[in-house]
Amino acid sequence: MTTLTELRRRAAELLPELAAGAAERELVRELPRAQIRALAAAGLFTFRIPAAHGGAGSSVADVFAFLIDLAAADSNIAQAVRPSFGRVEHLLNASEAERERWFPRYLAGDVFGNAGWERGGPSGAVRTRIGRDGTVNGTKYYSTGALYADWVSAVAVDDDGERVFFTLPRDREGLELLDDFDGIGQRLTASGTTRLSGVKVLPEEYVKRPAAAGRSPVSAYMQLYLGAVEAGIARAALADAVAFTRERARPIEHSGAERSVDDPYVRHAVGEISSRAYAAEAAVLRAAAAIDRAWAGELSPGLLTEAAVEAAQAQFVAVEAALKAAELLFDVGGGSAVARRHNLDRHWRNARTVANHNPRAWKAAVVGAYHLTGAQPPLNGLF
């Protein structure tokens, strides 16, 4: 069994190494394969695996404190391993048989990817088909982390119109992973296309899940995960703002200051970036505590709704904070701050890309409706 203290020690050793190369990797487009393998080998996907299964049995809040640290080191990596963390949370709410099958794979250092979303048709529609013989044909996009993974999860529709969920080894014949994601940010998340061409799914590899009768704690967790990535980006923008001001920036001619660190407007910019990063982190950790309360309360509907609302609020705050912090970063320097070699624009591009997963305007509107009329957040996995 690995303890929370030990996982924190390993994280403290590994994260500075990830952070040191993050900007250069993004600049030259070097996929962080080795770095993600190092995270898995260190057991840093196992925070939430119960002690009885060999994990640390940590709280949701403990996980999110780590995720913010990870995103501050490299938000591409944090986003790419979202399926690995999300699967653990799903397994905590699944059958014991599923836990006994998959938790050992985590403890062995395996990595999990996702191939769920498709292009074209209504949002959320699944056109990938699985035949009665277990043969799957279809194309997925936004396959987060799949290129780094040992296992790839996907969903298809069977001949009865029911959704079938399955997880395959990434070397299964007919499973093709393409590095063709072309987003403006989060360029190293390996979120490209997955093609399934006559892929065979064995009976023991898939499950049919009935439509959810109520709210799942996994939905709030996965949405808050995006907020944690944004909070980490805001903190990374702060680190770069401080470093650039101290090491490179020159005060503008009429500022009256001899050093940029003494310029009152630069100080204001850094102070505002810091405050926004602080608010984002605090909001995410408060919402994480709400998810912990839902688990402790045996997933009562009321506590799950509160967790969904808090996660939505935190995601809104974190998005706003990261976007503004990444913009203000350029106020600490002059023309040199926009030089491509510094790659300071990656923070805004990354924040903007994560923010587009689920529009923050809808987060605010749903929260407002809840407070005004008691309307429940949607049960569609986005709250």
* Burial grade of 183 (CB within 10 A; 0-12, 13-18, 19 or more): middle
Cα separation of 63 and 284, whole Å? Answer: 11
State the DSSP code for 250.
Answer: -
The yes or no reply on domain 4-110 and CATH 3.40.190.10 is no
CB of 2 closer than 8 Å to CB of 44: no
Report the topology of domain 217-373: Butyryl-CoA Dehydrogenase, subunit A; domain 3 (1.20.140)
Give the chain's residues under pLDDT 70.
Answer: 210-213
Query: What residue ranges of the chain are covered by domains with CATH 1.10.540.10?
Result: 4-110
Count of CB atoms situated within 10 Å of the CB of 100: 11
pLDDT at 212: 61
State whether residue 170 is helix, strand or coil.
coil
Q: Mind listing the pLDDT tens digit for each residue in 98-115? A: 999 999 999 999 999 999
pTM metric for this prediction:
0.96
Please state whether beta strands 175-177 and 194-200 pair in parallel, antiparallel, or not at all (unpaired): antiparallel
CATH 2.40.110.10 in the chain, residues? Answer: 115-208
Residue range 115-208, CATH number: 2.40.110.10
Distance CA 196, CA 128 (A): 8
pLDDT tens track for 183-214: 999 999 999 999 999 999 999 998 877 666 68
Indicate the DSSP class of residue 375.
P
Range(s) within the chain of domains with CATH label 1.20.140.10 = 217-373
What is the SS3 assignment for 263-316?
A: CHHHHHHHHHHHHHHHHHHHHHHHHHHHHHHHHHCCCCHHHHHHHHHHHHHHHH
